[in-house]
Structure 1
Amino acid sequence: MASASEPAAAPQTPTTVTDITGREVTVNLPVRRILLGEGRQLYLLASLEPQNPLASIVAWRNDLIEADPATYAQYLEAYPELAKLPAFPGQENGLIDIESTIVQKPDVVLLNLEAMRANEDAKYIEKLAELKIPVLYIDFRHYPLKNTEPTIRLLGKILGREARAEEIIKFRHQAMARVTDVIARAKPERPKVFIERIGGYTDDCCLSFGAENFGKYVELAGGHNLGSDFLPSTFGQVNPEQVVASNPDHVIVTSANWQAYVPGGHWIPLGPGADPDELQKKLEWFTTRGAYTGIAALKTRNFHGIWHQFYNSPYGFFAVQQMAKWFHPDLFADLDPDATFAEYHRRFLPIPYKPGYAVSLADKD
């Protein structure tokens, strides 16, 4: 019961909403207790609730802590209570911790699309439904151009932040249009681009993207994604000999600080506040990979690194703008992706902007 000095919380109303898979789910709105099936869902939650993004979170998976330590450190500095938030381990496509979920008694559980199969097979959704705990699926990863905006609108609705959700969507539209409108008018020749996915996380070569996610970002930025020629789905692996034969004009490595997973690995520690000199040094190693022997990008030094988490966040507009500058520097001489992302931080996030999300060997020469 609220004290005399505290306003009573708004009453919750059972409301039917539709998640990213088309499931109709009844949720008590506005939600007050959210369990994040992936910690990186904070990227959007904080955009919608910048005054106190932790107010409604009761537990989360520990992936933000491990996969994006620099961003975690920023939020921890701003909100020291984050260290006490219950965290549970797990995999992107794995089961949620159902015991932790039940204990926290959330109003809703947010799961990413790739976890759907595992949780359906284990009947976790039905088990939680029996306890009146609804589950909503969201997606930034598999079909980001299709599903990111519906995901923003869905979270805006359940939080009672519909107007702010539309502001975020409008910002994304405008940031993307600064590239796509120019490409549509100029119709430049499209360079061949190879994306090496999670560079340095494993020694395998060459993990890449098909026609979705970063593959789609390449096309929007005025390039031709080579992975789309060989991979039938969003994620897959291209034979190194095929990469050499395809002779890419640009190689883009998606990477991040993965010290928690691969101590001392070849990953590039991209992210907020990263040291530019260290990024250049770590990117240089990728020019030695056999898959890139003699390719055009090697001769022109068009090797680039970009923050891997753009593949799983509402921030994909930065990746599109940055790649457009790499592919067509003359067309986009006045475009400043860092300024765009800094503006997003000022308008929508409770943490300051720190550059460090991209690096290029071409910039060094």
Structure 2
Amino acid sequence: MKKPSLSSLLHVLRALTLALACLGSAASAAPIQVTDILARQVTLPAPAHRIVLAQARHFQVLSLLAPDPAALLAGWSDELRTSFAPDYQAALQRFPSLAQVPVVGRHTPDSFSVERTLALRPDLVVMTASFAGLAPGQPASESPLVGRLEAAGVPVIVIDFFLQPMAHTVPSLRALGQAIGQPERTEAVIAFYQQHMRTIAERLADLPADQRPPVFVHAHAGTTDCCSSPGTGTFNEMIAYAGGHNIGADVLKSATGRLNFEYINARAPQVYVATGTGSQTGAGLAIGAGVRATDARASLERLIAANRLGALPAVRSGNSHGIWHAFNDSPLHVVFIEALAHWIHPDRFADVDPAETLREINARFLAVPLAGTYLVDLQPGAEPVR
């Protein structure tokens, strides 16, 4: 029997290689079924690689789940450039291609252009239920925005890290991670998140109701008249999870509102937390990307004085702090909650270091690390994350 020639063997080898490549390609192109927070089953023909973010703030979530989140963007809103300018500049330095990502609107539903979005040929649009015009419990089928996109053949997934962060963070992460073909990396992020959240819950499991001290979160501190506060919304859930009592929730029945100076003083908060994004200048809290700890602390001192809050028990005792407001609409709220727990119950959380948690998130997950000062104490102690 004649032996096969070398060229024949090479031909067979090439054919086998091509066949295996085709099989691999077919496998990778297998449809992906994703369940979003509305319990909708959304099918994608393959991992999404042309995504439109209705709210560009969720680029940070993509940065957790994808090593090159910029490469996945077909379009986004302009809010990262405008409302979170320092963070946009940090992202732009890491991924210069972000400067060319088309804008499909501001961060509001009325400015979102369906026509511009469809012209970008996206294979996925990501938005929140409120952006889609849906009230809690309302089905996605009643959203004209979702309907128009899906009628044009564009899949839409609905996520939420803001309205119900405790319930929706994990399913939102899982849906987005599966949609972009990053299930393993996503499950690692989820495991990290759940471990840290579980530690907080376990240490507060036996906390009596009368040991939840009054907490005043001064939202967007210094940029409005005294004083903006969370009501029954996002921060309220976080304060409660961390073992505190939000003084704003007792009088504000909406997500946010304003507390007057007399009410704040009468409630005598034991913990004061100012928030800011770093995109404001002047009276606001200097916090976030590129900010030095000394500058953040100086701005915290200034805004407390400007708002006549120096007599609060929290200020007199030194239990006053500043933190990055944008932790509130991403899984990074775990850092916010750890910080609150550490400040509210220092005896139970003496060994919990939220700055170290952020450093680990930077090292393990974030494609665009958060470098700067993201939390600060009125007294020296909280160092910037590098």
TM-score of the aligned structures, taking structure 1 as reference length = 0.87
The unaligned stretches of length 5 or more in structure 1 are: none
* Cα distance in 2 for residues equivalent to 1:209 and 1:153: 28
**For 1:281, which of 279, 292, 298 is the aligned residue?**
298
Residue 222 (str. 1) matches residue 243 (str. 2) = yes
Residues 72-104 of structure 1: CA distance to partner in whole angstroms, max 9, x if unpaired? 233222222222222244134544222320111
Gaps (5+ residues) in structure 2?
1-17, 135-139
Equivalent position of 2:133 in the other structure? 117
**Structure 2 contact 276–286 (Cα < 8 Å) conserved:** yes
Question: Residue type of the partner of 2:195?
Answer: Q
Which one of the candidate residues 70, 80, 87 is aligned to 2:86? 70
Match of 2:351 in 1: 334
Q: Conserved in 1, the CA contact under 8 Å of 2:207 and 2:243?
A: no
Give the aligned partner of residue 20 of structure 1.
Answer: 37
Aligned to 1:241: 262
Aligned pairs for 1:201-350 (under 5 A) are 201=223, 203-259=224-280, 264-288=281-305, 292=309, 294-350=311-367
Instruction: State the secondary structure of the residue aligned to 1:163.
Output: helix
User: What is the SS of the residue equivalent to 2:300?
Assistant: helix
Secondary structure of 2:74's aligned partner? strand
Greater shift in the superposed pair: 206-215 or 267-276: 206-215
Task: Kindly indicate whether residue 164 of structure 2 is the aligned counterpart of residue 143 of structure 1.
Answer: yes
Paired AA for residue 74 in structure 1: A
- 1:86 paired with 2:102, answer yes
What whole-Å deviation, never above 9, does each CA across 1:36-72 have from its counterpart, x for those lacking one? Answer: 111121111121111x212221111121222333332
For 2:238 and 2:375, locate their aligned partners in 1 and report how far apart those are by CA, in whole Å: 15
- Structure 2 contact 105–111 (Cα < 8 Å) conserved: no
The one of 171, 179, 190 equivalent to 2:212 is: 190
Corresponding residue for residue 182 of structure 2: 161
**SS, match of residue 332 in structure 1:** coil
What residue number does 2:6 align with? none
Quote the Cα distance in structure 2 between the aligned partners of 1:293 and 1:70. 29
Asked whether the 8 Å contact 1:92–1:114 carries over to 2, the reply is no
Measure how far apart 1:215 and its partner are: 1.6
Alignment match, 1:96 = 112
Structure 1 residues 307 and 34, CA, compared in 2 at 3 Å: closer, same or farther? same
CA contact (8 A) 2:216 2:273 kept: yes
Work out which of the two has the higher radius of gyration on C-alpha atoms and give 1 or 2. 2
Whether contact under 8 Å (2:226, 2:307) holds in the other structure is no
Q: CA deviation at 1:35?
A: 0.5
Percentage identity across aligned positions? Answer: 32
- In 2: Cα distance, 1:20 partner to 1:219 partner: 23
Give the C-alpha shift of residue 166 in structure 1: 1.7
Q: Which amino acid aligns with 2:151?
A: E
- Looking at structure 1, the residues matched to 314 and 109 of structure 2 have their Cα atoms a distance apart, in angstroms, of 34
Going from structure 1 to structure 2, the CA distance change for 1:127 and 1:186 (only over 3 Å counts) comes to: closer
Runs of 4+ in 1 over 6 A off after TM superposition: 118-122
Q: 1:92 to 1:174 in 2, by over 3 A?
A: farther
TM-aligned CA deviation for residue 185 of structure 1: 4.9
Distance 1:19 1:236 in 2: 30
The code of the aligned residue for 2:180 comes to L
Aligned residues: 354
Report how far residue 311 of structure 1 moved. Answer: 0.8
What is the CA-CA distance between 1:224 and the residue it aligns to? Answer: 1.4
* In 2: Cα distance, 1:112 partner to 1:352 partner: 24
Aligned partners of 1:244 and 1:293 also within 8 Å: no
Distance across 1 between alignment mates of 2:143 and 2:200: 43
Provide the aligned C-alpha RMSD in A.
2.8
Q: Measure the CA separation in 2 of the matches of 1:81 and 1:36.
A: 16
User: What is the match of residue 30 of structure 1?
Assistant: 47
Q: Which moved more, 1:40-49 or 1:93-102?
A: 93-102
Between 1:149-158 and 1:86-95, the stretch displaced more is 86-95
- Following superposition, the deviation at residue 146 of structure 1 comes to 0.9
**What SS does the aligned partner of 2:190 have?**
helix
